[in-house]
Amino acid sequence: MIACVRNEPWGRIAYDHNADEFEAHVRVQRSPVTSRPLSAGCLVTGRCNLGCAFCYGNEEGLPNTEVDVSAWGRIFQHMRSWGLMRVDLSGGEPTLRRDLPDIAVSAIAEGLQVVISTNGLTPANREGLAFPRLRWHVSIDSGEAEIHERSRLLRCLTPSNSSFERTSAFIARRLDAGDAVRVLTCIGQHNKDALFALGEHLALLGVRDWNISRILRAGRAQRDYARLCEISDQAALNQVWDLRSAFPFIRIRYSNRTTQDGYFLLVLPDGSLATQYTDGRDKVRLGNALDMSLAQLQNHPMFNMAEHGRKWIAAMLEWQPEDPFIDRWTAGEATSASPMLAS
């Protein structure tokens, strides 16, 4: 297990790289409310090779300016000083940036856990680029190629022919390389009844981590949400339960969140800090990531730090003195120079 630990007044928060989860280890009778951010979605570019109708990123609503690798390094260093533990490099399609490996390395150098979220299609994904060891989250919408390709539209709004095969091949290469891979599936009217075929496909690929979620009411998905994206939560859950029974060797997660109200922390391509609302405002800017202090973020009227913590902490555990973390970590705060533990 690879873990990253952060001390809190009530105990500690541990991030498990293998499960991609935060856990609160509580040692005093206090609510494990965090006052510092845990994870940030870093939209390193607004550009994308696709034009999906349900995209929450939405290139049209993102800045055209892209900060360079050195600026991202300073942003990572600054946010790490707040106690940030994890970043998700996304977009847009992050692999359109040929310097994405360097951005990832700069985040790891600051002691951050790194995830790259991708559609698995761009030429920048070829093996010639030297990515460090990290997590990949890859989007597939259906086990039926036709449904996936109609869902993943090209920018000319035609199906992305062969994208199912290409994305599947990318997943297989990453698994063969020993990387952690999670498949992401957003369900709407286009694919709500075709999840079992995808389960079979992922099982054959060797995928062991699958996240199924309802579509967020944000970005392009706001345009015709009720008709294209709204589904029955119970019907989706019924399928998830059946999938878990059929594929017990795949860890299948389900999220019914369709709204967000200022708890998701984002860094936009131009280096500005933002949060997500799904009431029509979409991405709300909080300020420049390098200029903002932790106190300003904590007290910003548009950001909800308590909800941020509740969103990310997956489990609450009682303090266990025999835990090896205790012998290897003092009561002081972890430094960016020594953020990792292996046990």
Distance CA 35, CA 263 (A): 12
Beta bridge partners of 253: 211
Alpha-carbon separation of residue 223 from 57, 139, 228 (angstroms): 14, 21, 9
What's the pLDDT tens digit per position in 45-89?
999 999 888 888 766 678 889 999 999 999 999 999 999 999 999
Q: How confident is the prediction for the chain on average, in pLDDT?
A: 87
Distance CA 314, CA 251 (A): 14
CB of 212 closer than 8 Å to CB of 240 = yes
Q: What is the pLDDT of residue 342?
A: 26
pLDDT-based confidence at residue 124 (cuts at 50, 70, 90) = low
Q: What is the pLDDT of residue 319?
A: 65
Distance CA 186, CA 214 (A): 6
Q: What is the pLDDT of residue 125?
A: 56
**Amino acid code (one letter) for 8:** E
Q: What is the pLDDT of residue 60?
A: 67
pLDDT-based confidence at residue 39 (cuts at 50, 70, 90) = very high
Statement: residue 336 has pLDDT above 70: no
Statement: residue 166 has pLDDT above 90: yes
**Amino acid code (one letter) for 6:** R
Q: What is the pLDDT of residue 141?
A: 95
Distance CA 335, CA 321 (A): 22
Statement: residue 335 has pLDDT above 50: no
38-305 in CATH: which number?
Answer: 3.20.20.70
The domain locations on the chain are 38-305
Q: What is the pLDDT of residue 157?
A: 78
pLDDT-based confidence at residue 159 (cuts at 50, 70, 90) = confident
pTM: 0.89
Statement: residue 127 has pLDDT above 80: no
Q: Is the peptide bond before 92 cis (omega within 30 degrees of 0)?
A: yes
